[in-house]
Amino acid sequence: MSDNVNDSRDRAVQSPRRGGPMGGGPMGMGRMSGGKAKNFKKSMGKLIKYLQPHLLYIVISLIFMAGATVCSIIAPSYIGKLTDEIFVSMLGRAIDLTAVASFGITLMVFYATSLILNYLQAFIMAGVNQKVSRRLRSDISRKINVVPLKYFDGHSYGDTLSRVTNDVDTIGQTLNQSISSLFSSIIMLIGVLIAMFVTSWQLSITAMLTVPLSLILIMVMMGFSQKFFRSQQQALGEINGHIEENFSGQSVIKAFNGEEEAQEKFGVINKKLVNSSKNSQFLSGLMMPIMSLVSNIGYIAVCVVGGILFVNGSITAGVIASFFVYIRLFQNPMMQIAQAAGNLQGTAAASERVFEFLDEKEKEDESEKFKKIETVQGKVEFKNVNFSYDGVRTIINDFSATVQPGQKVAIVGPTGAGKTTMINLLMRFYEINGGDILIDGVSIKEMKREDVRALFGMVLQDTWLFDGTIRDNVVYAKKGVTQAEIEEACRAANIDRFIATLPNGYGMELSDEVSISSGQRQLLTIARAMVQNSPMLILDEATSNVDTRTESLIQDAMDKITKGRTSFVIAHRLSTVKNADLILVMKEGDIIEAGSHEQLLSSKGFYSELYNSQFSLESV
């Protein structure tokens, strides 16, 4: 159990972002976002649809931002006036302190207004942002339950998980910044430009001279550092893979004396990583000094040209002072636009992944289907069933059989023979391609999925419990279950005694830290099926992974629950197989034989071979 404790601690330390801890470094260019979108416009278009309901807020916030930006553009001109007032001192005159105070107060008002507007803007956008992220997450979660199961044949859970958390996080983090900063930077750029030219065209041109220089430098630097960043990410991925592989394969490495080889390979990758990380750290750290050099050059140029103009008498000292501020205001938005553009790429890439999932085809709509079975007998007919997972290889070919109410069907076959296929079809996790399955004469295709599933109780071998109390797990989604019913089900499932030994009994919280053996888990899921009390059953017998005593408890519980119910059992036990009314023998996905134990044995087919090799006593 200590493993789990360690695990959760590890997770807590990990950064939730995909960018990782090396995302450009503290003085770098902000977070590098994960990858590029294949179709920028399309992904952004879809994202904008999510923003639409909040359009009013966005517009208000942008107006606030524009106001704040205008404040910060106008302020420097007052700095100029203030400077002019103070500058007279250089000419030997006294400063008019009341004028200074009045400009000072005006400036305070501007700064305060700017602060308030800026903050209101951030406040509103944060709200919009969370609403959008939240809806995206909800939509993904809802979507998980409406995409056909087939989808997950081709996509790992981890992939979907990372869309819920990482990608939505990326969108949430970058969207806010990029929209706001793009907008404010553009206003700022235009505003400062106008203000500069109004103040002094000569100095404006001087300041503008640094623009191409900084643009080129930004481009070059970004290109370089992204290249190294990518190669660093690659080396990082490689080394993480190697470490993972080695640590989890420790036993084999030791037993086969593979330590040295592993060490060598590690050394090679590590060296590559050290190199690329050095370069990428260095380059992303270069951005700051280079940009500050550019801004210094602009500053010096303004100093010099301004000084000359002043000597000529064409400008005042205050103009120079305002320009010092303008230069700073002018440099920032260019950096920000470059960054926002990069961020938007990341937003687009993340939204693309999110929308890829949200746009997945959903299961067919069934609101038109009304057929229901009121009192279930439990007769199941397979009529010429055809099925294929991929549409290419037919794995169930023209299968027909009838199961009478209350009968037991055993599904047997070697590992990987596709025994769960039958469950998938019966429960309509997958749709059959041809033929029909009828329950009490009604085609399952004519019923709603929920109504079909309500007919079956299900116990799978990979027992699924969730974080919650024992009671929650037994009751699950069923409503109006009394404590007496729960206890009754647990007694029948032979788990009542175990529950009685737990600190909180039925109220005991299950979590990673609580140890429950796989046998006990299985019994709990049987209790869950008992509470459900469905007319038919699907069971997956435990293999040898539980100790013998628990296994007999499970067996006993399974016998009880199948009594009187039509049941389909993926069988591993000989007694179950022998007593079944119908045995379906599966091999490589297909049902190759069907019949009773005696029938199948006498036909001397695959079943008899399997039976003999599995259970015979003769020595190898």
User: For the chain, how far is it from start to end, CA to CA, in angstroms?
Assistant: 40
* Cα 76 to Cα 79: distance, rounded to the nearest angstrom: 5
CB of 511 to another protein, least distance (A): 9
Tokens representing 243 are: 């470490």
Q: Give the single-character DSSP code of 467.
A: S
CB of 440 to another protein, least distance (A): 19
User: Strand 396-403 and strand 380-387: pairing?
Assistant: antiparallel
Nearer to another protein, 500 or 574 (CB): 574
C-alpha of 65 from chain center: 32
Beta strands in 427-546 (DSSP E): 434-439, 442-443, 456-459, 468-469, 509-510, 536-540
CB of 143 to another protein, least distance (A): 10
Nearer to another protein, 42 or 270 (CB): 270
Nearer to another protein, 56 or 252 (CB): 252
CB of 525 to another protein, least distance (A): 8
User: Strand 566-570 and strand 408-412: pairing?
Assistant: parallel
* Cα 385 to Cα 401: distance, rounded to the nearest angstrom: 9
Angle at 399 between CA 396 and CA 405, to 5 degrees: 125
Contact 64, 120 (CB under 8 A): yes
Amino acid at site 275: N
Nearer to another protein, 456 or 498 (CB): 456
Residue 2 CB burial class (10 angstroms; 0-12, 13-18, ≥19) = exposed
* Cα 131 to Cα 168: distance, rounded to the nearest angstrom: 12
CB of 611 to another protein, least distance (A): 10
CB of 337 to another protein, least distance (A): 17
Closest CA to 410 of 518, 537, 546, 552: 537
Q: Give the single-character DSSP code of 443.
A: E
Please write down the HEC assignment for all residues of 218-287: HHHHHHHHHHHHHHHHHHHHHHHHHHHHHHHCHHHHHHCCCHHHHHHHHHHHHHHHHHHHHHHHHHHHHH
Nearer to another protein, 95 or 400 (CB): 95
Contact 188, 73 (CB under 8 A): yes
Nearer to another protein, 37 or 232 (CB): 232
CB of 484 to another protein, least distance (A): 21
Contact 464, 525 (CB under 8 A): yes
Angle at 410 between CA 404 and CA 415, to 5 degrees: 150
Contact 561, 505 (CB under 8 A): no
Closest CA to 563 of 579, 574, 547, 585: 579
Beta strands in 275-407 (DSSP E): 380-387, 396-403
Nearer to another protein, 317 or 349 (CB): 317
Nearer to another protein, 523 or 546 (CB): 546
CB of 123 to another protein, least distance (A): 6
CB of 306 to another protein, least distance (A): 8
CB of 45 to another protein, least distance (A): 24
Closest CA to 523 of 501, 556, 548: 556
CB of 117 to another protein, least distance (A): 9
C-alpha of 503 from chain center: 35
CB of 39 to another protein, least distance (A): 26
Sign of CA dihedral 435, 437, 440, 446: negative
CB of 304 to another protein, least distance (A): 4
Please name the residue that has the structure tokens 């297909």: 590
Nearer to another protein, 35 or 258 (CB): 258
Nearer to another protein, 37 or 413 (CB): 413
Nearer to another protein, 394 or 579 (CB): 579
CB of 545 to another protein, least distance (A): 7
Count CB atoms within 10 A of the CB of residue 346. 25
Nearer to another protein, 161 or 194 (CB): 161
Nearer to another protein, 95 or 402 (CB): 95
CB of 483 to another protein, least distance (A): 19
CB of 555 to another protein, least distance (A): 9
Nearer to another protein, 41 or 415 (CB): 415
Nearer to another protein, 37 or 319 (CB): 319
Contact 225, 280 (CB under 8 A): yes
Residue 131 CB burial class (10 angstroms; 0-12, 13-18, ≥19) = middle
* Cα 495 to Cα 519: distance, rounded to the nearest angstrom: 10
Nearer to another protein, 132 or 344 (CB): 132
